[in-house]
Amino acid sequence: MDAATNTDTRGRRRLGYVVTALAALLVVGLLTIEGSRAAFSASTANGSNTFSAGSVSITDDDAGSVMFNLSNMVPGTTATKCINVTYTGSAPANVRMYGTVGGTGLAPYLDTVIDVGTGATGGSGFSCANFTGGANAFNNTLANFGTSHSNYGNGNGTNFSGATNPTTRSYRVQVTLQDNGLAQGKNASATLTWEAQNV
């Protein structure tokens, strides 16, 4: 082996040693950095956070019975019934009453008075015993009720706003047939609805 070859081999060996040394230093440096990261640490947390939606719930005590089932009415026939409506939702709500009125034309001749109070016996017999209070909510014809209070937007909310769980109101409904010959032979139907919407 000549001197030039010998020198070249020694040079490559030195270069190999230098590269190996640098690689070792790099590994040591990385390990030192990783070790430093593990040694210095801080954190903070907020939890566990929970979320739940409120509810709107409203019931009445009619036990599935209809309030009025009057036939062969004559002028002056009057019927008075009471129903209790209870709000039990978890979110505060406004409760409004409205109705759908139909039939063959008797509704304009049925004078209707609705009062809102508390304490009525109600139930499937719609008893007005113990009814107290009595803020007037409506006093016109059944036909007028159907047109003026036809949905929640124009519904009557007398004494039933901002309800919380539980809130009960007694509704006393009185219907009287007018003394008008034009009412003869006609009929009417009505569905009363109480709707609650959160405030």
Q: How many CB atoms sit inside 10 A of residue 159's CB?
A: 17
Rounded to whole angstroms, how far apart are CA atoms 53 and 89? 11
Predicted TM-score (pTM) above 0.85: no
Q: Are 86 and 58 spatial neighbours (Cβ–Cβ below 8 Å)?
A: yes
Q: Report how far residue 57's alpha carbon sits from residue 87's, in angstroms, rounded to the nearest whole number.
A: 6
Quick one: tokens of 118?
């508390």
Confidence of residue 87 (pLDDT cuts 50, 70, 90): very high
DSSP 185: T
Structure tokens at 4: 């030039």
User: DSSP assignment, residue 9?
Assistant: H
**18-48 pLDDT, tens digit each:** 445 454 545 545 445 454 555 799 999 998 9
CA-CA distances (angstroms) from residue 105 to 21, 23, 69, 102, 109? Answer: 106, 101, 17, 8, 8
Residues 6+ apart with CB under 8 A from 54: 89, 90, 91, 198
Q: State yes or no: cis peptide before 150, omega within 30 of 0.
A: no
Q: What is the pLDDT of residues 123-182, one digit of tens each?
A: 999 999 999 988 999 999 999 999 999 999 999 999 999 999 999 999 999 999 999 999
